[in-house]
């Protein structure tokens, strides 16, 4: 069982790589801490937002988060001039911050940390927890019918494999 999260990656501020400000060729990938194989990522950024060291994506990612997930990991990565992809910053977003109410938008900001555990910018996101569609509830069959009895039925289940047959 899981919950559907609609996470919009708004922007990232004050990102640096090798003491240089990052202006383009960056993207964000999201994954849950409990599942390493499922990863969601934005498109590569090629524009700045309002000058300075601010990158804007404004891209919505819809992801499933298992109920046992504790964190969602947001990795901001950048393509270097050599064509390599390097992680610029990482944020662990506690799932408990996201599950307030269904279909309510929250705007959150998290500190990004580089591979040497130094501060490296801030990522701004908005999150909406989608309501899970449940199937029709299963109704039970009345045991005694509509005779007005509100008694409790107890018994021991008998499995067909335990019944002895005289053949």
The ranges assigned to domains in the chain are 2-130
Q: What are phi and psi of 43, to 5 degrees?
A: -75, 160
Rounded Cα gap, residues 110 and 127, in angstroms? 13
In total, the chain counts a number of residues equal to 167
What is the mean pLDDT of the segment spanning 16-23? Answer: 85
* 27-75 tens-digit pLDDT: 999 998 876 656 778 787 755 566 567 888 999 999 888 888 899 999 9
Q: Quick one: CA torsion of 100, 101, 102, 104, rounded to 10 degrees?
A: -90
* Tokens representing residue 91 in the block: 């944020």
CATH code of domain 2-130: 2.60.40.150
What is the mean pLDDT of the segment spanning 14-36? Answer: 84
């Amino acid at each position: 069982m899981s919950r559907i999260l609609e996470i919009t990656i708004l922007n990232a501020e004050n990102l640096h790589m090798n003491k240089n400000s990052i202006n383009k060729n960056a993207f964000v990938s999201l994954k849950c801490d409990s599942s390493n194989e499922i990863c969601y990522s934005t498109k590569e950024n090629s524009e700045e937002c309002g000058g300075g060291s601010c990158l804007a994506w404004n891209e919505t990612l819809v992801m499933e988060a298992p109920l046992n997930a504790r964190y969602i990991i947001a990795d901001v990565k950048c393509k270097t001039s050599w064509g390599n992809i390097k992680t610029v910053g990482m944020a662990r977003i506690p799932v408990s911050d996201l599950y307030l109410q269904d279909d309510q938008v929250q705007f959150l900001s998290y500190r990004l940390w580089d591979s040497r555990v130094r501060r490296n910018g801030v990522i701004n996101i908005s999150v909406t927890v989608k309501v899970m569609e449940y199937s029709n509830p299963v109704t039970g069959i009345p045991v005694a019918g509509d005779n007005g009895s509100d008694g409790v039925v107890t018994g021991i289940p008998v499995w067909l494999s335990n019944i002895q047959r005289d053949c």
